[in-house]
């Protein structure tokens, strides 16, 4: 293989797929030769589809049938991820097939939802939008190295109902028990559905990897099952086609937890039903047949890369258990109410700077930081809570200083002092690189906006706008 040649698709994988797909295999094989399909999901917490269509800097393709807030993107668009609208959290880039999971879990505003394997946050941001910022969404990521990226994507999205944790599924299950209305397990997998866009996935794949992933998935799903309240929902998804990691994992759960049943998913054109016949091991026929309620997404059948999604319902064992678990007060990691001095500083900032109010019941302090927390917050014990809500800012001796996530949480028109910059202008590029700008106008904190959408903070002092765009977010292009 020369340096600019793509690694070939593992022949053993192709043999397996040819056995599974039969006469559909040639179409699958030729789809694997095509370019991957990209998707753009609009942040409906910030603007509507119609509003986005009016300002979209890119041509948008057809809408995604199973994700009403998303569009398919035409191939080879340059730097969609560095556009200021992306930095303002107006959209998320995601494989259209991956958008099926959040829509099929169908969370409602006010639900308690857990996204157990959440980084980098594709499904979390989608769930948050579907919940309209209401209720509680716990986004968990086990890997220290990946959780920062997740928190950043959540902050950019500007959702007020998300808590990001960095925990193991074991600790979550031990601590919470059957607390959540809906749990998503978007499991780590062998990534066969990534073969068109991630050459590393082609190189890493082996039959042993499939077997190893299946064991890990079974363990994660077993723990996730303990976190769902009776009457609640568990959604399992992967971006792989291997039945060992898909149908076999589900049937393993059904055998171990008879309180769960497969809930048949809505069927969109191009979806394939779950395939009990692809499993190698023999299982109870009636139970195996319920797996047809799952769905499989393939690149030769629709515009997307590939996914497996299965919804499970936890049956209600006793009428009394149908009720939600009661919750204790909010004491996580030393979060407390503002003291009187802090209330004064916050109110002074609010009056000077913002044209919006926030319920004090949702404002909590940790150290010198002020957070806007979800409507309902459980006791997190000694968990690693990376993002306990939207970080609004810090209390200094005599003043309150706003933080970057507050800027991204604000909507159009909610700040009294703004500096609007043109999306394609030189000044905006300089702001995003962290440079100061010359700018006449009233002194003090100023919200930098693009097309009216908040991007970050600046502080004007004697005609100079000091740059408060955080170093880790800066863009050099
Ligand atoms: N849901 C994410 C999204 O849509 O952006 C993608 C999640 S990715 C497919 C799977 C995640 O599971 C990874 O972030 C990985 O670090 C995490 N993971 C790996 N091992 C795990 C384990 N034993 N328990 C829980 N999560 C694990």
Nearest Cα to 93, choosing from 29, 30, 156?
156
Phi, psi (degrees; rounded to nearest 5) at 408? -75, -15
Q: Please state, in angstroms and as integers, the Cα–Cα distance from residue 437 to each residue in 446, 460, 468, following that order.
A: 12, 9, 11
Q: Give the model's pLDDT for residue 423.
A: 94
Ligand 1: nearest atom to the Cα of 119: 14
Lining residues, ligand 1, CB within 6 Å: 98, 117-123, 141-143, 146, 169, 186, 188, 216, 220
Among protein residues, the one with the nearest Cα to ligand 1's atom 16 is 143
Q: Give the model's pLDDT for residue 2.
A: 43
Among protein residues, the one with the nearest Cα to ligand 1's atom 8 is 188
Question: Which of 139, 141, 142 to mutate to test ligand 1, by most ligand atoms within 8 A of the CB atom?
Answer: 142
Among protein residues, the one with the nearest Cα to ligand 1's atom 1 is 118
Ligand 1: nearest atom to the Cα of 121: 5
Q: Give the model's pLDDT for residue 332.
A: 57
Ligand 1: nearest atom to the Cα of 184: 1
Question: Which of 105, 119, 189 to mutate to test ligand 1, by most ligand atoms within 8 A of the CB atom?
Answer: 119
- Write the DSSP string, 207-231: HHHHHHHHHHHHHHHHHHHTTEEEE
Distance of CA 118 from the midpoint of ligand 1 (Å): 6
Below-70 pLDDT ranges, the chain: 1-4, 318-333, 477
End-to-end alpha-carbon separation of the chain, Å?
32
Q: Give the single-character DSSP code of 77.
A: -
Q: Are 477 and 441 in contact (CB under 8 A)?
A: no
Spatial separation of the C-alpha atoms in residues 143 and 146, rounded to whole Å: 5
Question: Which of 102, 188, 215 to mutate to test ligand 1, by most ligand atoms within 8 A of the CB atom?
Answer: 188
Q: Please state, in angstroms and as integers, the Cα–Cα distance from residue 218 to each residue in 83, 125, 255, following that order.
A: 39, 25, 12
Q: Give the model's pLDDT for residue 75.
A: 84
Q: Are 375 and 134 in contact (CB under 8 A)?
A: yes
Render pLDDT for 236-259 as a digit per residue (tens, 0 to 9). 999 999 999 999 999 999 999 999
Among protein residues, the one with the nearest Cα to ligand 1's atom 9 is 188
User: What residue ranges of the chain are covered by domains with CATH 2.30.130.60?
Assistant: 417-477
Which architecture does CATH list for 417-477? Roll (2.30)
Ligand 1: nearest atom to the Cα of 115: 1
Distance of CA 142 from the midpoint of ligand 1 (Å): 7
**Ranges of H-type helices in 158-206:** 169-176, 199-204
Q: Give the model's pLDDT for residue 6.
A: 86
E strand map for 38-158: 38-42, 63-64, 67-73, 91-93, 112-115, 136-140
Q: Quote the tokens at residue 281.
A: 């091991």
Spatial separation of the C-alpha atoms in residues 61 and 32, rounded to whole Å: 21
Spatial separation of the C-alpha atoms in residues 207 and 226, rounded to whole Å: 30
Distance of CA 141 from the midpoint of ligand 1 (Å): 6
Q: Please state, in angstroms and as integers, the Cα–Cα distance from residue 186 to each residue in 55, 234, 309, 405, following that order.
A: 32, 11, 9, 26
User: What residue ranges of the chain are covered by domains with CATH 3.40.50.150?
Assistant: 11-314
Ligand 1: nearest atom to the Cα of 189: 9
List active site positions: 239
Distance of CA 298 from the midpoint of ligand 1 (Å): 21
Distance of CA 238 from the midpoint of ligand 1 (Å): 10
Distance of CA 270 from the midpoint of ligand 1 (Å): 27
Distance of CA 54 from the midpoint of ligand 1 (Å): 35
State the fold for domain 11-314: Rossmann fold (3.40.50)
Distance of CA 158 from the midpoint of ligand 1 (Å): 22
Per the document, the length of the chain is: 477
3 state DSSP class of 114: strand
Task: List CB contacts of 75: < 8 A, sequence separation 6 or more.
Answer: 35, 37, 38
Strand partners, 295: 273, 309
Q: Give the model's pLDDT for residue 4.
A: 62
Question: Which of 117, 167, 168, 190 to mutate to test ligand 1, by most ligand atoms within 8 A of the CB atom?
Answer: 117
Distance of CA 66 from the midpoint of ligand 1 (Å): 23
Among protein residues, the one with the nearest Cα to ligand 1's atom 14 is 119
Render pLDDT for 87-135 as a digit per residue (tens, 0 to 9). 999 999 999 999 999 999 999 999 999 999 999 999 999 999 999 999 9
Q: Give the model's pLDDT for residue 382.
A: 87
Q: Give the model's pLDDT for residue 335.
A: 87
């Amino acid at each position: 293989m020369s340096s600019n040649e793509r690694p070939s698709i593992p022949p053993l994988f192709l043999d397996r797929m040819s056995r599974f797909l039969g006469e559909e295999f040639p179409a699958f094989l030729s789809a694997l030769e095509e370019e991957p399909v990209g998707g753009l999901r609009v942040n409906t917490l910030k603007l509507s589809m119609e509003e986005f269509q009016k300002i979209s800097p890119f041509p948008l393709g057809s809408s995604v049938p199973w994700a009403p807030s998303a569009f398919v993107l035409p191939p080879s668009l340059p730097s969609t991820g560095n556009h200021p609208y992306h930095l303002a959290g107006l959209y998320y880039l995601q494989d259209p097939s991956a958008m099926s999971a959040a829509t099929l879990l169908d969370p409602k505003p006010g639900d308690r939802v857990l996204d157990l394997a959440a980084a980098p946050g594709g499904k979390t941001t989608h769930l948050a939008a579907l919940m309209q910022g209401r209720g509680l969404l716990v986004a968990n990521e086990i890997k220290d190295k990946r959780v920062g990226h997740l928190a950043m994507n959540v902050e950019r999205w500007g959702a007020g109902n998300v808590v990001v944790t960095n925990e193991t599924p074991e600790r979550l299950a031990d601590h919470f028990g059957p607390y959540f209305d809906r749990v998503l397990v978007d499991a780590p997998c062998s990534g066969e559905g990534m073969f068109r866009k991630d050459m590393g996935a082609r190189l890493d794949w082996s039959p042993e990897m499939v077997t190893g992933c299946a064991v890990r998935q079974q363990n994660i799903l077993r723990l996730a099952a303990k976190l769902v309240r009776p009457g609640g929902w568990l959604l399992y998804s992967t971006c792989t086609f291997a039945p060992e990691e898909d149908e076999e994992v589900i049937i393993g759960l059904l055998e171990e937890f008879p309180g769960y049943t497969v809930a048949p998913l809505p069927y969109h054109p191009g979806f394939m039903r779950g395939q009990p016949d692809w499993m190698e091991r023999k299982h109870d026929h009636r139970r195996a047949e319920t797996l047809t309620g799952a769905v499989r997404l393939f690149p030769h059948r629709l515009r997307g890369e590939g996914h497996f999604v299965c919804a499970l319902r936890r049956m209600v064992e006793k009428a009394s258990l149908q009720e939600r678990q009661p919750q204790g007060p909010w004491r996580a990691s030393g979060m407390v109410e503002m003291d009187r001095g802090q209330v004064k500083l916050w109110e002074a900032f609010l009056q000077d700077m913002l044209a919006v109010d926030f319920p004090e019941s949702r404002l909590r302090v940790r150290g010198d930081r002020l957070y806007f927390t979800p409507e309902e917050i459980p006791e997190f014990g000694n968990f690693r809570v990376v993002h306990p809500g939207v970080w609004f800012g810090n209390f200094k001796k005599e003043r309150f200083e706003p933080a970057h996530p507050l800027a991204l949480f604000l909507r159009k028109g909610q700040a009294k002092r703004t500096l609007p910059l043109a999306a394609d202008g030189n000044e905006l590029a300089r702001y995003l690189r962290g440079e100061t700008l010359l700018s006449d106008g009233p002194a003090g904190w100023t919200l930098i906006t693009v097309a009216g959408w908040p991007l970050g903070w600046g502080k004007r002092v004697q005609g100079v706008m000091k740059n408060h765009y955080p170093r880790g977010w800066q863009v050099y292009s």
